[in-house]
Amino acid sequence: MTFISVFVTSPDTHSERKFDSSLTINQLKDKLVPITGISPNYQVLSLYSSSDVVSSGKAIINLSEDSKTLGDYGVQEWQCIKVDNIDPNYRPGEFTDESNLERFELTNEEYESRQDTVLSHLKANKLGRFADVPTNLNCPTPPPSITYNPDIRPGARCEVSHGNNENSGSGRRGTIRFIGEAQIGKGGIWVGVELDEPQGKGDGEVEGTRYFQCLPRHATFVRPDKVVVGDFPEEDLMASDDEDEI
């Protein structure tokens, strides 16, 4: 079974179709009825090299023998089968001429007054642009934006304080290597500090994410309020644990 794509043109239609090359002309005419609207006994078929030459060119052959197949006639891909209508009662353009058709038209006011339209359905069910606007929504208050000392920046010397008093002294000194959002603990803003002494808990990597690189036990991550930026020379400090530190 071999299918070929051809164009089918008639007085009122033009389309691309695919047919089995083993179809007889008689069988083809039956398939052309729903395509062209022409009864088989009023169809006259002719083959053209392409649809572009139907109006000006000469037919390759007339497909007049009902028992022959498309293959017998040598019909090839993208050739054109022209279907002429010899019905004596046929009036050209009777199915395509819309000039004499009576059109049903409504003004906007008439359409809006009808009860059997999509518009009336939307209004009755308060859908689309007719839906009620929700009021008194209990939306949670957005969390306040986190601010911190702009002096806290990578490369700045600092002291990591203990407890809630950032001026309490006895902090660990180091250099800021990271500041920003980090997936540490509950997330949020964290400051990564490379400590002068091995008083930290890692080397700048937390839970598989590296924020900076330093020697083992020289990295600590704290909240911005635990960092005091200043001219802190290197010195040995006592380490202390803090629940806001990782």
Q: What is the CATH number of the domain that holds 9?
A: 3.10.20.90
Averaged pLDDT score across all residues of the chain: 86
The neighbour count for residue 21, using CB atoms within 10 Å, is 16
pLDDT above 80: residue 139: no
The neighbour count for residue 35, using CB atoms within 10 Å, is 13
- Is 143 inside a domain boundary? no
Rounded Cα distance, 2 and 175, in Å: 79
Convert the pLDDT of each residue in 169-199 to its tens digit. 457 999 999 999 998 888 889 999 999 999 9
Highest mean pLDDT among 2-11, 89-98, 157-166: 2-11
At which of 85, 120, 148 does a domain end?
85
- Is 95 inside a domain boundary? no
Rounded Cα distance, 75 and 121, in Å: 54
Q: Is the model more confident about 24 or about 234?
A: 24
Convert the pLDDT of each residue in 96-131 to its tens digit. 666 767 778 889 999 999 999 999 999 999 998 899
Residue 114: the pLDDT is 92
pLDDT above 90: residue 91: no
- Is 105 inside a domain boundary? no
CATH number of the domain that residue 162 is part of: 2.30.30.190
- Is 237 inside a domain boundary? no
Residue 141: the pLDDT is 66
Q: Is the model more confident about 176 or about 12?
A: 176
Mean pLDDT of 70-90: 94
- Is 125 inside a domain boundary? no
- Which residue segment(s) compose the domain that 214 sits in? 157-229
Residue 167: the pLDDT is 44
Residue 83 structure tokens: 């279907």
pLDDT above 60: residue 239: no
pLDDT above 90: residue 41: yes
- Is 114 inside a domain boundary? no
Residue 166: the pLDDT is 43
Residue 149: the pLDDT is 87
Cβ 219 vs Cβ 201: under 8 Å: yes
Domains: count for the chain: 2
Cβ 44 vs Cβ 61: under 8 Å: no
Rounded Cα distance, 160 and 175, in Å: 10
Residue 165: the pLDDT is 46
- Is 238 inside a domain boundary? no
Q: Which residues, 6+ apart, have CB-to-CB distance to 167 below 8 Å?
A: 161, 228
pLDDT above 70: residue 94: no
